[in-house]
Structure formats: structure tokens, C-alpha cells
Amino acid sequence: MLAELENEMLAAADKLEFERAALLRDQIAILKGEKPVHSGSGANYRKRRGKHR
């Protein structure tokens, strides 16, 4: 199952579907018992950093 998710994540990144790749990365981390790297959207990140566009 992890190998399938990892392949799907890499395929999404190759297609420039970075949001999907990030979600898959976080799911993989959770399944491995790790803390996800970042599970918020880019818009929320910009707000926290004080950069509004």
C-alpha cells in the first residue's frame, strides 16, 4: 500500500499536481507513524507569514 501511494505521489508531482502530491506525502507520513511535514494550504501559510497578495 505504501509503495502504491509513493508511486501516486511521484506521478502527481511529475504532472505538476503539487497539492495532490503534498496530500499524498502527508498520508504516507501518517501511515508510517510520522508527523506530516505541512498539511495546510499555501494560502494559510501565506497568511501566517504575513504575506497577503
Q: What pLDDT was estimated at residue 3? A: 96
**Per-residue b or e along 13-45, where b marks 16 or more CB atoms closer than 10 Å to that residue's CB:** eeeeeeeebbebbbbbeeeeeeeeeeeeeeeee
What is the greatest pairwise CA distance in the chain?
39
Whether the pTM exceeds 0.95: the reply is: no
- pLDDT per residue rounded down to tens, the chain (53 residues): 999 999 999 999 999 999 999 999 999 999 999 988 865 555 554 455 555 54
pLDDT of residue 4: 97
Helix (H) or strand (E) holding 17: none
Structural domain of 16 = 2-49
Per the structure, the count of domains in the chain is 1
Position 37 scores a pLDDT of: 82
At 21 the pLDDT is 97
